[in-house]
Structure 1
Amino acid sequence: MNISEVLFQTAKEMPNHAAIVFRNEKITYHELSDKVKEKAAGLRKYGITNGSHVGLMMANKPEYVIAYFSLLAIGATVIPLNPTFKENEITYILNDSDAVALIVDEIGLGEVQKAHKSLSSVRSIFTLTKTEAYVAWEEVSGEPANFFIEQKNPYDNAQIIYTSGTTGKPKGALITHGNLGWMSETSADLLELTKEDRVLVVLPLFHAYAKLQGLLICLLRGATIYLEERFIPDVILQKLADNHISIFLGVPTMYTKFIHSPKIKELDFSSLRLAGSGGASLPVEILEKVEEEMGVQIGEGYGQTESTVMISCFPSDIEKVPGSVGVPVPGIELQIVDPNGREVPVNEVGEIIFKGPNGMKGYYKKEEATNETIKDGWVYTGDLGRRDERGYLYIVDRKKDMIIRGGYNVYPREIEEVLYTHPNIVECAVVGESDPVFGEEVAAYVVTKSEITPDEIASFCKQQLAYYKIPRKIYFMKELPKTTTGKILKTPLKKK
């Protein structure tokens, strides 16, 4: 099976049904299917074939969907990148993934140009804007009649999603065609998704959550995707009402901003039957206010990159419990274990581990890290949680020191490495600080050689890090707390 077949099958069944609405223009399933076939045939002319690793670095637009399915159809493995990544981030991921090509839009083009000289395996760069140096995406074209789908088995890689941790450089999670196929069918069933649904997707498609819940399952069931490039609270609320949206996918930060918009009281959201929240825990107060003002239930769940998307959720037939992230998705086994891997009693805290068709194959070229994470078929999440008497899961703490800012995962080690390159910084430690809007904010504690301003440090970080990773809180210290062996202690720095 090739996961791209979900699009072509739906295009056969309902060719004239709207697949995507973007800037008020509709693209039917037939039109989308034909465009994907044309680009897939064109990519083959440039040597992109079965097994090729290709970076995809775009904001939300139809071209993203077309490129994604074109690559999958010809058997390529997709490497999604955030279009706001900086030169060093782009270089590391493309080199580590052995990418042979990159498709990039105008947002990331400048940083890609800076990174180009350091890209070790990339042979072709396709751009949405014409440049003398690269191939224009509009020139990538072939005859749809010559199109064929490369057959894949469930264990073949479909995408490599880069995640990271406190132990080093980002790691590429291998997500297979089987992972995506099973997760798409299961998620579509849980959401009771149909061709009548209108799904507004403003979450970035490079994110695993948006790609599966906002793209794959919609095309599987023939729903219509209302694709948005930017999250502007008033604008999105207006579009939810005007377009009679039935499903909205968000992160806690979006809902926090919704409740502070006057439009939430002015508009009619009666068409909205479900709002999803992922990426971080949604405060109960925010959840209750949104449900009251918009008249919609918010479906919370829990997952991570290594789980394709979901591990637990609230199916429609069980009672919702505020503060919980639900029960294991049907077909997934879940345990809470102690440091020795033994299951702990009810309501005791331990590490969350899971097993199921959603578990990643491993980390690309990182056997040791894979063996540390996957043991006897169980994926160790690194997250702490507990389960109550009914089996409901509660998240107690996040993976090690990871920060979740507005639904984005931020990894302190990566930011610290950038800070340490500043000539005036002697020591630093990055932690998450509670924030009413973003859930957590990035805070940096620094020891400097001489006087320097927070703005200077932030400006330095902006040159090397995506916007959401830049420390907004900067504290100056004479020295950082340490253990007797000299290891920096972060716990005393964390503000509740």
Structure 2
Amino acid sequence: MNIIELLQSTVERYPEIPALVFRDQEISYQELGKRVRKAASGLKALGVTLDTKVGLMMSNKPEYIITYFAILANGGTVVPLNPLFKEAEVAYILNDSDSEYLVLEEMSLSVIQRVKNELTSVKEIICFGDSDEHSWASLLTYPEMENFVPRYGSETAQIIYTSGTTGFPKGAMITHANLNWMAIAAAVTNSVKPGDRILCVLPLFHAYAKLQGGLANIAHGGTIYIEERFEPVSILDKLAKNKINIFLGVPTMYTMFIHSPNIKDLDFSALRIAGSGGASLPAEVIDKVKQLMGVDISEGYGLTESTVMLCASPREGVKKVGSTGVPLAGVSLKIVDPEGNTVGPKEVGEIIFRGPNLMKGYYKQPQETENAIRDGWMHTGDLAYADEDGYIFIVDRMKDMIIRGGFNVYPREVEEVLYTHPNVIECAIIGRPDPVFGEKIAAYVVTKTEQEEEELREYCKQKLVHYKTPDYIIFIKEIPKSGTGKMLKTALKKLDKETINL
């Protein structure tokens, strides 16, 4: 089945329900279906057909969603790109994915023009906005496509590139069956109902937003309020004003919410679900959001290779602070030691999984695929433990664990302590190479007001064993983040290295 059938089904069932709201523009499901069919015909006329790879480099706007489905309607494969990527990043992904077409908006055009001669496969650029390239608006002048190109569930719908924490990014091949299963599972997890209002400010090029904020809601007739950028005061106002029912964010967003001056004056009574993913949320932030917004944050866990989610907090029943919930129904998840043996309750090990959400593999990288998927189980590199009830608690990435003088230190544990300090807004813990201890602990901290380093270290000493207390505390204006607001510890380690070498 072609995943576009999810949209078509909703168009037929709920034609008059608003599908998208963007600025002052409201687009019904019926109108969205028409625009997708027109854009699909336009892309077909340009040569987009079965298995054609199409780069999609747009910020949050209705044209992103229209183009996404129009590519799929032709049997093509979507290759999402961050519109803020620089020349080398864009060239690598477009070339590695064998993308023949690129759809982008004017803000990204200058980057593409500077790297155009290095693009080995792109033969047509379609631009939203004023430019000399093929106009996106012209796609809507074509008659509506009558029949979508059928696809098998096992065929690739999109290639999403990982963040590239080691080496070059890898393209995770996500199938139509992956997307179909995950869209329905996410909608059920979030209890999406026709007419529910969902605010999507997460970037649509990211899998989390595309599935949780997009496909899952489209499958069940939700109305998606699209926001172009995250500005905490403005987003809080819109959550209240538009009576939003579902908001999905990342920890940084909630941290900024609780420090926003307008949060105490707004009514969030319509907000039924507040979800968080991408990284673990400090318990202190969860408590403050409950106090100020009246909603329990439901944490989830997943990765690019799992299409999006692996675990989610149950909507009904027990929620455990610090837990990402339980594995989704239909997903098999184990926590294993280095030899592959399942560990007992509360023992830390690596998460491995298999199920209908497991990617097809890495594009053109059979060896990397074989290294990651062994005997049908995806090895995530994430460390966690399960309690007696089966709730999963993420400890850290294997690569982020610090070994200080032979002791294992999990950065999240130290970060949790720092977050309880009243002057700390954000923090991130990394390991710094040390000739004696192997590694020492470096804490990068963002504070509300000026803070004494020694006072903060003493605060940690009261709550942590000596070897977990930060050896270095570095105050910083902002912690490096990805387009989704996820803290980039690789960038922080690079900054730390540069600081040491000054």
Whether the TM-score (by the shorter chain) exceeds 0.5 is yes
| 3-state SS of paired residue (1:170) | coil
Q: CA deviation at 1:108?
A: 1.4
Query: What letter corresponds to residue 65 of structure 2 in structure 1?
Result: V
Given the two structures, how large is their TM-score scaled by the length of structure 1?
0.82
Q: CA deviation at 1:130?
A: 2.6
1:311 equivalent in structure 2? 310
1:355 equivalent in structure 2? 354
Q: What is the rounded CA distance, in whole Å, between the counterparts of 1:300 and 1:151 in structure 2?
A: 36
Give the direction of change, closer, same or farther, for the CA distance of 1:312–1:42 in structure 2 (3 Å limit): same
Q: CA deviation at 1:338?
A: 1.2
| 3-state SS of paired residue (2:43) | helix
2:124 equivalent in structure 1? 124
Query: What letter corresponds to residue 10 of structure 1 in structure 2?
Result: T
Query: What letter corresponds to residue 270 of structure 1 in structure 2?
Result: S
2:73 equivalent in structure 1? 73
Q: CA deviation at 1:383?
A: 0.6
Q: What is the rounded CA distance, in whole Å, between the counterparts of 1:93 and 1:154 in structure 2?
A: 24
Query: What letter corresponds to residue 270 of structure 2 in structure 1?
Result: S
Give the direction of change, closer, same or farther, for the CA distance of 1:365–1:432 in structure 2 (3 Å limit): farther
Q: What is the rounded CA distance, in whole Å, between the counterparts of 2:336 and 2:14 in structure 1?
A: 47
Task: Tell me, yes or no, if the aligned pair for 2:10 and 2:218 is still in contact at 8 Å.
Answer: yes
Q: CA deviation at 1:141?
A: 3.8
Q: CA deviation at 1:245?
A: 0.4
2:97 equivalent in structure 1? 97
Task: Tell me, yes or no, if the aligned pair for 1:34 and 1:144 is still in contact at 8 Å.
Answer: no
Give the direction of change, closer, same or farther, for the CA distance of 1:467–1:87 in structure 2 (3 Å limit): farther
Q: What is the rounded CA distance, in whole Å, between the counterparts of 1:321 and 1:34 in structure 2?
A: 44
Give the direction of change, closer, same or farther, for the CA distance of 1:341–1:317 in structure 2 (3 Å limit): same
Query: What letter corresponds to residue 150 of structure 2 in structure 1?
Result: Q
Alignment of 1:163-202 (within 5 A): 163-202=162-201
| 3-state SS of paired residue (2:275) | strand
Task: Tell me, yes or no, if the aligned pair for 1:78 and 1:159 is still in contact at 8 Å.
Answer: yes
Q: CA deviation at 1:346?
A: 1.6
Q: CA deviation at 1:208?
A: 0.3
* Structure 1 unmatched runs, 5+: 405-409, 413-428, 438-457, 459-465, 481-496
Query: What letter corresponds to residue 72 of structure 1 in structure 2?
Result: L
Task: Tell me, yes or no, if the aligned pair for 1:199 and 1:246 is still in contact at 8 Å.
Answer: yes
Task: Tell me, yes or no, if the aligned pair for 1:43 and 1:141 is still in contact at 8 Å.
Answer: no
2:139 equivalent in structure 1? 140
Q: What is the rounded CA distance, in whole Å, between the counterparts of 2:129 and 2:487 in structure 1?
A: 23
Task: Tell me, yes or no, if the aligned pair for 1:166 and 1:400 is still in contact at 8 Å.
Answer: no
- For each residue in 1:88-144, what CA deviation from the matched residue of structure 2 results, as whole angstroms up to 9, or x when unmatched? 000000000000010011221111111211000000010012322x21111224644
Q: CA deviation at 1:399?
A: 4.8
Q: Percent identity, aligned pairs only?
A: 52
Query: What letter corresponds to residue 355 of structure 1 in structure 2?
Result: R
Give the direction of change, closer, same or farther, for the CA distance of 1:467–1:114 in structure 2 (3 Å limit): farther
| 3-state SS of paired residue (2:274) | strand
Query: What letter corresponds to residue 39 of structure 2 in structure 1?
Result: K
Q: What is the rounded CA distance, in whole Å, between the counterparts of 1:125 and 1:479 in structure 2?
A: 43
Q: What is the rounded CA distance, in whole Å, between the counterparts of 1:69 and 1:119 in structure 2?
A: 25
**Equivalent residue pairs, number:** 430
Alignment of 1:470-481 (within 5 A): 473-474=495-496, 476=498
Task: Tell me, yes or no, if the aligned pair for 1:155 and 1:177 is still in contact at 8 Å.
Answer: yes
Q: CA deviation at 1:367?
A: 0.5
- For each residue in 1:434-490, what CA deviation from the matched residue of structure 2 results, as whole angstroms up to 9, or x when unmatched? 4458xxxxxxxxxxxxxxxxxxxx9xxxxxxx997865955656779xxxxxxxxxx
Once the two structures are overlaid, the 10-residue window that deviates more, 270-279 or 102-111, is 102-111
Give the direction of change, closer, same or farther, for the CA distance of 1:29–1:435 in structure 2 (3 Å limit): farther
Task: Tell me, yes or no, if the aligned pair for 1:351 and 1:384 is still in contact at 8 Å.
Answer: yes
- For each residue in 1:253-295, what CA deviation from the matched residue of structure 2 results, as whole angstroms up to 9, or x when unmatched? 0001100112110000100011010111111100110011101
- Work out whether 1:343 is the aligned partner of 2:342: yes
- For each residue in 1:379-419, what CA deviation from the matched residue of structure 2 results, as whole angstroms up to 9, or x when unmatched? 11011111111111111112524999xxxxx9x9xxxxxxx
Alignment of 1:38-437 (within 5 A): 38-132=38-132, 134-141=133-140, 143-401=142-400, 434-435=444-445
Task: Tell me, yes or no, if the aligned pair for 1:324 and 1:395 is still in contact at 8 Å.
Answer: yes
1:463 equivalent in structure 2? none
Task: Tell me, yes or no, if the aligned pair for 2:34 and 2:144 is still in contact at 8 Å.
Answer: no
Q: What is the rounded CA distance, in whole Å, between the counterparts of 1:164 and 1:399 in structure 2?
A: 16
Give the direction of change, closer, same or farther, for the CA distance of 1:229–1:244 in structure 2 (3 Å limit): same
Task: Tell me, yes or no, if the aligned pair for 1:40 and 1:142 is still in contact at 8 Å.
Answer: no
Tell me the C-alpha RMSD between the 2 structures: 2.6
Alignment of 1:5-20 (within 5 A): 5-20=5-20
Give the direction of change, closer, same or farther, for the CA distance of 1:325–1:432 in structure 2 (3 Å limit): farther
Task: Tell me, yes or no, if the aligned pair for 1:41 and 1:142 is still in contact at 8 Å.
Answer: no
Task: Tell me, yes or no, if the aligned pair for 1:84 and 1:467 is still in contact at 8 Å.
Answer: no
Give the direction of change, closer, same or farther, for the CA distance of 1:146–1:323 in structure 2 (3 Å limit): closer
Give the direction of change, closer, same or farther, for the CA distance of 1:144–1:297 in structure 2 (3 Å limit): farther
- For each residue in 1:20-53, what CA deviation from the matched residue of structure 2 results, as whole angstroms up to 9, or x when unmatched? 0100221011111000000000100100111100
